[in-house]
Amino acid sequence: MANNRRNQSGAVRFVPALKAVLLCTLIGGSCVGYVLQKNKIYELGQQIGARQVKLDKIKKENQILADRYAAMQLPQRLAERVRDLKLGLVPPQRQQIVWISEPPPIAPATNALPAQFVQLNRKP
């Protein structure tokens, strides 16, 4: 009897202990998980911030380069380059321009198909 009681009482004590351990593990795990997730959120936030700064910097550099490119395309700047590099480029002189008379306007188009297509579209 005594042995049985001991065995029984031992079994009874093991289950609550297991439950307690599980509960503690669950609560502890949740807490650790919460902290880890919080840390992760913080880290990701910092990464987002760093990337935003980088993106902003790249955008501004892009803007600077676009402005530099636009400035290089200015007619006066191009004329200066032509002068500096002694390329001898000048606007075409009147004698170098040939004026070509345009042919008279074509008669307004009609819906009629050309003869060869008319033949093909005819129903048997």
Partner 1 sequence: MIRPGHLRRLFVFAILAGLALAGLGARLYVLQVVKHDHYREIVDDNTQRTFVKQPRRGDIVDADGHVLATSLPVKRVLADPSLIYPYQAEVARAVAPLLSMSEGELLHALRPLRTNDTGVVYTNRFVDLKRKLTYDQWSEVTQAIAQVSFDVDEEFLSRKERMFFRNLRRRGIYAEEDFQRIYPSGRLASHVLGYVQEVERILTNGSSRAASIEMTGIYGIEHWLDGKLKGTRGWRVTEMDRRAREIVVFREQDVEPRPGLNVTLTIDMFIQNVVEEQLAEAMKKFNPKSACAVVVRPSTGEILALANVPDFDPNFPSKSDDWSRKNRVIADMHEPGSTFKIVVVSGALNEQTVTPNDVFFCENGRWMFKGKPLHDHDNGYGNLTVEGIITHSSNIGSAKIAVYRLGEEKLYDYMTRFGFGQPTGITLDGEIRGWVKHWKKWDGLAVSRIPMGHAITTTPLQMAMAMSAIANEGKLMRPMLIDSLRGENGEVFVKFQPQTVRQVISPHAAKQMVAALKTVPAKDGTAPKAALEHYTVAGKTGTAQVPGGKAGYIPKKYVSSFIGFFPADNPEVCISVLIEEPDVKKGYYGGQTAAPYFKAIAEQVANYLKIKPDRNDSLGETLVGGTNSAPVNGVAARRP
Residues within the interface to partner 1 (CB under 8 A): 41-42, 45-46, 48-49, 60-61, 63-64, 67, 70-71, 73-77, 91-92, 94-102
Q: State the minimum distance, in angstroms, from the CB of residue 27 to partner 1.
A: 25
Q: State the minimum distance, in angstroms, from the CB of residue 113 to partner 1.
A: 31
Q: How far is CA 31 from CA 34, 69, 72, 118, in A?
A: 5, 56, 61, 84
- If the CB atoms of residues 33 and 49 are measured against partner 1, the closer one turns out to be 49
Q: Taking a C-beta distance cutoff of 8 angstroms, is the pair 77, 71 a contact?
A: yes
- If the CB atoms of residues 100 and 106 are measured against partner 1, the closer one turns out to be 100
Q: Taking a C-beta distance cutoff of 8 angstroms, is the pair 38, 31 a contact?
A: no
- If the CB atoms of residues 9 and 46 are measured against partner 1, the closer one turns out to be 46
Q: How far apart, in whole angstroms, are the C-alpha atoms of residue 45 and residue 68? A: 34
Half-sphere CA count of 11, side-chain side, radius 13 A: 6
Give, as one character, the DSSP assignment of residue 96: G
Q: State the minimum distance, in angstroms, from the CB of residue 31 to partner 1.
A: 19
- If the CB atoms of residues 7 and 46 are measured against partner 1, the closer one turns out to be 46
